[in-house]
Structures are given as C-alpha cells and as structure tokens.
Amino acid sequence: MKTGRCLGMICLVLAGMLAACSRHDDGAEGEALLPKVTVLTALGGVGDNGYNDDILDGVMRFNAEGEVALSLISPESMNEAETVLQSWLAEDEGTGRSLLVLASNDYASLLQSTVLNLNDRRQILLFESPAAALPAGVMTFRLRRYGGAYLSGCLARESAHAQVVAAYPDAPIVQDAVEGFCDGYADYSGKTAAVEYLAEDYTGYDMPDKAYRLAKNLDERTFIFPLAGGSNDGIYKYSRDVVFSLLLVAGMDVDCSAYSTRIPFSLVVSIGDIVQEYLEDWVAGKDIPPHREYGLQSGVDIVLSPTFYTDMLAWEDYYAAPLYWETAYETYLPTAKEKEEAFYENK
C-alpha cells in the first residue's frame, strides 16, 4: 500500500510542478517576480499514508490555485536539510518574496543554530512548534494532540489491553499523544497502557515490518494506538491479514477506515487544510500571527469509521451495539477538552 501511495504522491507532485512551469512561460523575468515557496518535507516522511502525505495534498491544492514558484525538497538527512536552509538564506533578495516551509519540528534545531536575518519578504514557516523564542520572521503553529489522544484512550477503555506504538522517544509531536492516550485509558479503565518505541530516532517512522511483528506478538484483545507515521502501515496490514482477529486499531492522522476492518475510529489532524490556509494567507500578504494553536475540534478530532459495523467479521460484546462508539465519543468529549486545556496551560 505504501508503494502505491508513494507513486500516487509523486505523480501529484509532478503534475503540480508541471502546472507551475506552464505558468512561467512568460520568461525568466516574470518568473522571478512570482512569490517563491520552498517546502522541505520531513525526513523519510513522504508516502506515510497519513500526516506527511496530507501535507503534500494541501501544498498541491494551494499550488493549483495561485501564481507561485513552488519547490518541493525531500532531504534524506539532517545535513542535507541544513544545506537546503543555507542555500535558501543565500538567495538574492531581489528575486521577490520567498517562504521556506519546514514541514517537521525536527528542523527547529537548525533555526536555533543559524543566523537567519529574515524580514517581511523572506519568512519561514516551522511546523509543530510551541510558541518558543524563535527569531523574527519565523512563523510556527502547534497541533495539540493530547485531547484527541485522551479521548481515544477513553474510547478504548473496555479493551483488555492497550498498546501505544510510537516512532521514537521524545518526538515532540508524538509524546503529548502518548501521554494523552495513556491518561485517558488509565482514568476510565483503571489499567496501564503499554508503550513501545520502534527506534531511537526518526527512522522509527519507516519501520512497517517491525511494527507488523510487534502487532503479531500482542494479545488479540489489544487496542493499538499507533503513532509511528509510515510504520503504522505494518499494523494495519497485520490487522487485515488475520481475518477473524479481535484486535482493534485506531486510525491515525487521516481517516483510515479503508485500511482495515478493525479500525473503529481515526484520530484525524487537518494538517493539509492548515498548510493550505497558511500558504494562501502568505501569498495574499495577510497579517499572519507568529504562532497559532489548534486542538480538539479545531484541527484535531475523532472520525468514526462509517463501515465498521458492516465490515467486521469478529467482535466483542461490549461494542456490539451500533451506536457504541458514537455514544462513547459524545460522553467523554467534554472531559477530553477540559483535560487538554489543563495539560497545555503551562506548556
């Protein structure tokens, strides 16, 4: 599945770049005056069937609508990403407005160790960063995942076991979700969710085979909360391969109901829509605040799988009623929102 999605995303990117080139046929002088947007994707992120692919969807929707010179760069290492940053900083300012999009919080360290000299014509958008003391000209936003993850833990409360599978320890956009799910599950089941990390660094986002083996070794009455990017595909695949399994898996980042009949709901983040809005506002010259926060029901939410009850082949009594997940969502949503506000109050 990942290979097919990668090919699809490559075709989408190429189509967008060709469309951009067709708008630049008026000559180099006209092209130089177009606003420039350079997108630096996450390390190893493209083709994850979720978060990073949704970012590309948002970028390409934006590119299809406006007059802009778009570049998409997918670095293979942090050193390569730093080279891209330095090249962008060295560009001639006389070529017009320019925006560098750093589509991963992993790149925050590059900004803290580099002299940027930004202004209103040359700006940077950094993903998933708190309102920290960053240089002027760097815009940030953060998707608060604690509340949605807490709500997911509440929905998993009747499962005999709960397992978080995360990419690597201390990943900024992952750790809040790990805590949220574990807290929600503990508060309403009285039990502790297990947590497993696939790697020590970002390579944990691209280990579907290891994630598959991990899922295979779990008790079949386990609820899995996957926070491992492209590695999640291995978990979804295992849940498809074992047809009559009682294993349940939360979809992650996008609506994953089509990936497996064992997904009752997905924790969806509207990252593609957020990126598209940022880019449109920047091109339009709107006043963009230095930092924005998104959270439960404002960029992050639970989406119930519409075909869960029609497609599942095995089930437990506790969720046999067709309205079980919907009722649980409505019951625990207010508490999850309160917990999220308290969690981020001093962060």
pLDDT at 32: 54
Cβ atoms < 10 Å from Cβ of 133: 5
Lowest mean pLDDT among 2-6, 60-64, 186-190: 2-6
Q: What percent of the chain has pLDDT over 90?
A: 73
Residue, of 136 and 25, whose pLDDT is higher: 136
Q: What are phi and psi of 294, to 5 degrees?
A: -125, 150
Whole-angstrom distance, CA of residue 56 vs CA of residue 36: 16
Whole-angstrom distance, CA of residue 39 vs CA of residue 87: 13
Lowest mean pLDDT among 22-31, 115-124, 332-341: 22-31
3-state secondary structure of 267: strand
Amino acid found at 75: P
Find the mean pLDDT for residues 281-285: 94
Amino acid found at 223: F
The most confident of the ranges 13-27, 38-52, 219-233 is 219-233
Whole-angstrom distance, CA of residue 340 vs CA of residue 322: 28
- The answer to whether domain 2-144+271-296 and domain 146-268+300-344 are alike in fold is yes
With residue 121 as reference, give the H or E element that holds it: none
Find the mean pLDDT for residues 143-162: 98
pLDDT at 243: 85
Q: Return the closest-CA partner of residue 3 out of 45, 62, 47.
A: 47
pLDDT at 12: 43
Q: Return the closest-CA partner of residue 308 out of 167, 155, 149.
A: 155
94: Cα within 13 Å, side-chain hemisphere: 1
**pLDDT tens track for 51-99:** 999 999 999 999 998 789 999 999 999 999 999 999 999 987 777 899 9
User: Given a cut of 70, is residue 1 above it in pLDDT?
Assistant: no
pLDDT tier at 21, thresholds 50, 70, 90: very low
3-state secondary structure of 58: helix
Answer positive or negative: Cα dihedral of 37, 267, 291, 284.
positive
User: Given a cut of 90, is residue 19 above it in pLDDT?
Assistant: no
3-state secondary structure of 328: helix
**What residue ranges do the domains of the chain occupy?**
2-144+271-296, 146-268+300-344
CA distances to 92, 134, 158, 169 from 86, in Å: 12, 17, 51, 29
**pLDDT tens track for 204-232:** 999 999 999 999 999 999 999 999 999 99
Q: Of 3.40.50.2300, 1.10.3720.10, 3.90.230.10, 3.40.630.30, which CATH number belongs to 146-268+300-344?
A: 3.40.50.2300
Q: What global pTM score does this model have?
A: 0.87
pLDDT tier at 260, thresholds 50, 70, 90: very high
CA distances to 68, 88, 92, 112, 113 from 27, in Å: 14, 22, 18, 37, 37
Domain spanning 2-144+271-296, CATH class: alpha beta
